[in-house]
Amino acid sequence: STVNKRFNKTAFQAAVNKYLVTKLATLPEQADAHAWRLAMEYALAETTTMNLLATEQDPKIKNARSVNYLSLEFLIGRLTGNNLISMGLYEEVTVAMAEFGQNLTDLLEEERDPALGNGGLGRLAACFMDSLAAEEYPAVGYGLHYEYGLFKQSFNDGRQQEAPDVWRDETGYPWEVIRPELAQKVGFYGKVEEYTDNDGLNQRRWLPGLQVEGMAWDLPIVGYNNNSVYPLRLWECRALAPFSLERFDEGNYVAAQASHIQAGNLTKVLYPNDNHDKGKELRLMQQYFHCACSVADILRRHQAAGHSILDLAKLESIQLNDTHPTIAIPELLRILLDEHHLSWDDAWAISSKTFAYTNHTLLPEALETWGEQLMTTLLPRHMEIIFDINLRLMGEVAHKWPGDIEKLRKLSIIQEGDERRVRMANLCVASTYAVNGVAAMHTELVKRDLFPEFNELFPGRLHNVTNGVTPRRWLKFCNPKLSALISSKIGTGWIKDLGQLQKLEKFADDSQFQMDFMCVKKANKQRLTDWVAENMGLTINPDAIFDVQIKRLHEYKRQHLNLLHILSLYHRLINDADFKMQPRVFIFASKAAPGYELAKEIIFAINKVAEKINNDPRIGDTLKVVFIPDYRVSLAEIIIPAADVSEQISTAGKEASGTGNMKMALNGALTVGTMDGANVEIREEVGDDNIFIFGLNVDEVQALQAKGYNPYDYYNSDQLLRTSLDLLAGDEFTPGQPGLLNATRHSLLAGGDPYLVLADFADYVQAQGRIDKQYGDQKSWAKMAILNTARNGKFSSDRSIRDYANNIWQLNAVSR
């Protein structure tokens, strides 16, 4: 039977009134927008929580194969608007709240973003949960219940300032529900003991020196237009009170004591690094805590449904979102070996058919390794198991390549050196049944450059699953005007079947449709213009080209290449009387990891350049630069629909996929980009005429670096480049303080320009020139924009999830 009933407005309003009083201790006459919003969310959460339980208890679900998505990050963004859309209640609730004198749009603006992720990887996990629920593939998402999400960013004289992100109200977060009966205990430290069991067999067991509690919080992931609600289960670490140590020796007691305060706070804060691994002990503790709670919960569900542990791999698949949850592998093996007393071969057969791993990066500094010492201290039994896995792996390698020491060295899970380290990616490839890259080109590079030997040793293990984005949040919800226009032409089927957007192609030459499409774009640009005026006190011209680069700040993403182009335009506008350009607003939004000095310097440089250009009377409306602070999901929802140009300018071979590129193209922006990540596939879909590709391709990048790249070759021979770069050397943008922006310039010259910014500069400027020219022809621009919306249906995360379900998880949908 279905739990979804037709919306009963009176009952809903009664529930809102009830929560105003019982949860918020206020009355309708006194309540402010904040109270109204929370009461509304509590009332709506009644339905989602009931559906969550009904889905969980459904025998069809209990007996179906399901996937467990393990991720240290789920960058879900605001839930209320999205849930209203999935529940099909947006219009109904608008009316019901209006009768209370409350405007739904304003109430939704009141919600803070749960920022439980850094960037692409975390947002992908959120899109995947949305698509799993929409497609009704039985799933549980497992993550961490951080008290503080990604830091809040502000600018102080152009420099990034970080502040803690408090995403939960003191009264709680209405959409989440605590599940005390699902709490788990998690051990750390201690020792491994050998003992003889009742059958006289030698066994090993881990006696932790410290235990903490994992409390479960469930967020409802509401399936679009269906009755399925799956949990996003987030674990919160709590100190076990009273301080409980079961068995310990003197040394470990001290270690445990010292860590106790920390351990009680394991899930306090999300590590703010993106694509960089710092190897911190607390981070490893977070990872193991996440894995231990999640694996225990998967086994609990499996056994509560009456299934044998021997059938685990038949019913459960565990997807590892990057290497961050890798310790789930030795954790499952430990339980199978030490608690269920399976043989190694039986345990391995189960574990290696249960886990699959997604690689999200090739950057060497992002590949996780953990020192043997730390692993042995924190997780002594897991370290033993890792050595056991490696022993067998090395046996296989020696068998395939007899006498080849080099192969052993490259494939080993243990990296030899001053201190031995555990290579988490190698552990993953060796211990899973499927490994995937996140875009076609990325997967080819994983096979060719990262894991060529593994690819030979385990043929068929490496797959591609190209990333995608949820069309509910990234088109229907964030761009209601374009959604309405699309639906007026091709109906609403595209919301669940994004490929249907290609039906728009036949309107690409239709003048009326072109005008309507550009009208929607203009309205979205006006919305962003108003937002910028209101929140930043800055005036921008909505008729200018909105040129957008929104993503984490990283050298490989090359925000400084964008900056150099801006400097070149500024220089030409002032010094070349013949130079003409379409008015353009360059829009940035981006956070830098707090410890990434150069990234913070680049933010500072962009802000200082912006300040000067925006106030230069010689420039007027022609060129503006806006760095919007505190980039987050809810800001992306305003910026993306307003983008004309999408900047995807990473050094070829460095951006695994990108997903902002998909969001902007879908919303009718034209991409200026390198042949990197999913840009390659976007080009394949839209055609070479509807995208602006520039720069070295990955083979050219590798060849140039092999022969010895010298940025001065470019600096000395390209006058525009030299002039642009040298603008950063003086005090042009920092009056009276010459050299303040030198860090960025220095990194590109004496610093060696590791990401080949100077090598790609000239071609980038050319591509930007083509964009400028193209925008002058509004009719043809409109056509190109329409074709970008029409031809990007491939990049729905529904398609990604079906690819995973069919090719990796062997999963069937279960409709309720």
Binding site for ligand 26M (CB under 6 A): 118-121, 124, 271, 273-275, 277-278, 283, 360-361, 366, 368, 438, 467, 655-659, 677
Which of 37, 290, 552, 816 does the annotation list as catalytic? 552
Residue pair 106/180 in contact (Cβ under 8 Å)? The answer is no
* Closest distance to ligand 26M from the beta carbon of 6 (Å): 39
Least distance to ligand 26M from the beta carbon of 676, Å?
Answer: 9
Catalytic residue among 283, 301, 360, 560: 360
Side-chain-side CA neighbours of 265 within 13 Å: the count stands at 9
Q: Name the catalytic one among 521, 551, 632, 816.
A: 551
CA angle 64, 70, 73 (to 5 degrees): 140
C-alpha 333/C-alpha 46 separation (Å) is 39
Contact 789, 520 (CB under 8 A): no
**SS3 label, residue 729:** coil
Question: Which residue lies nearest ligand 26M, judged by its C-beta?
Answer: 120
Distance CA(593)–CA(119), nearest Å, equals 11
Q: Work out how close the CB of 122 gets to ligand 26M at its nearest, in angstroms, rounded to a whole number.
A: 7
> Smaller CB distance to ligand 26M: residue 278 or 580?
278
- What are the start-end ranges of the H helices in 178-318? 250-263, 281-304, 312-315
Phi, psi for 610 (deg, rounded to 5): -60, -45
Q: Are strands 184-188 and 369-371 parallel, antiparallel or unpaired?
A: unpaired
Over the range 767-803, which residues count as b (16 or more CB within 10 Å of their CB) and which as e?
bbeebbebbeeeeebbbbbbbbbbbbbbbbbbbbbbb
- From the candidates 659, 674, 734, 744, give the one annotated as an active-site residue: 659
Q: Note if 171 is an active site residue.
A: no
Residue type, 177: V
Quick one: tokens of 385?
A: 């198991």
489-518 in b/e form (b: 16+ CB < 10 A) is: ebeeebbbebebbbbbeebbebeebbebbb
Smaller CB separation from ligand 26M, 121 or 670? 121
**In 3D, which of 679, 676, 719 has the Cα closest to residue 699?**
676
**Least distance between ligand 26M and beta carbon 356 (Å):** 15
Residue 360 vs 624, nearer CB to ligand 26M: 360
User: Is position 557 annotated as part of the catalytic site?
Assistant: yes
The DSSP line for 13-47 is HHHHHHHHHHTT---TTT--HHHHHHHHHHHHHHH
Shortest distance, CB of residue 465 to ligand 26M, whole angstroms?
A: 10
Instruction: Give the nearest distance from C-beta 555 to ligand 26M in angstroms.
Output: 13
Q: Is the dihedral of CA 613, 617, 621, 626 positive or negative?
A: positive
State the pairing for strand pair 184-188/152-156.
unpaired
Question: Looking at beta carbons only, is 768 or 797 nearer to ligand 26M?
Answer: 797
Burial class (CB within 10 angstroms; exposed 0-12, middle 13-18, buried 19+) of 313? middle
Nearest to 386 by CA among 334, 325, 461, 454: 334
| 334 or 442: CB nearest ligand 26M | 442
Q: Nearer to ligand 26M by C-beta: 781 or 795? A: 795
Of residues 623 and 656, the one with the C-beta less far from ligand 26M = 656
409 catalytically annotated: no
Q: Coil, helix or strand for 585?
A: strand
Return the bridge partners of 192, or none: 206
Closest distance to ligand 26M from the beta carbon of 121 (Å)? 3
Whole-number minimum distance, CB 272 to ligand 26M, in Å? Answer: 8
Q: Please, what is the minimum distance in Å from the beta carbon of residue 752 to ligand 26M?
A: 22
Nearer to ligand 26M, 380 or 677 (CB): 677
Would you say 648 and 456 are in contact if contact means Cβ atoms under 8 Å apart? Answer: no
For residues 547 and 655, which CB has a smaller minimum distance to ligand 26M in the complex? 655
Nearest CB to ligand 26M, comparing residues 240 and 366: 366
From 37, 407, 461, 557, active-site residue: 557
> Is 723 assigned a catalytic role?
no
Q: How many residues does the chain have?
A: 816
Q: How far is the CB of 74 from ligand 26M (least distance, A)?
A: 12
Beta bridge partners of 172: 169
Q: Has 552 been annotated as catalytic? A: yes
Please give the structure tokens belonging to residue 235.
Answer: 């674990």
Residue 516 or 655 having the CB closest to ligand 26M? 655
> Which H or E element spans position 371?
strand 369-371
Distances (CA, A) of 189 to 333, 371, 381, 598, 604: 18, 15, 9, 37, 43
Max CA-CA distance within the chain? 92
One-character DSSP codes across 70-127: E-S-B-----HHHHHHHHT-HHHHHHHHHTTT--HHHHHHTPPP--BS-SHHHHHHHH
CB of 231 to ligand 26M, least distance (A): 22
Residues annotated as catalytic are 360, 551-552, 557, 659, 663
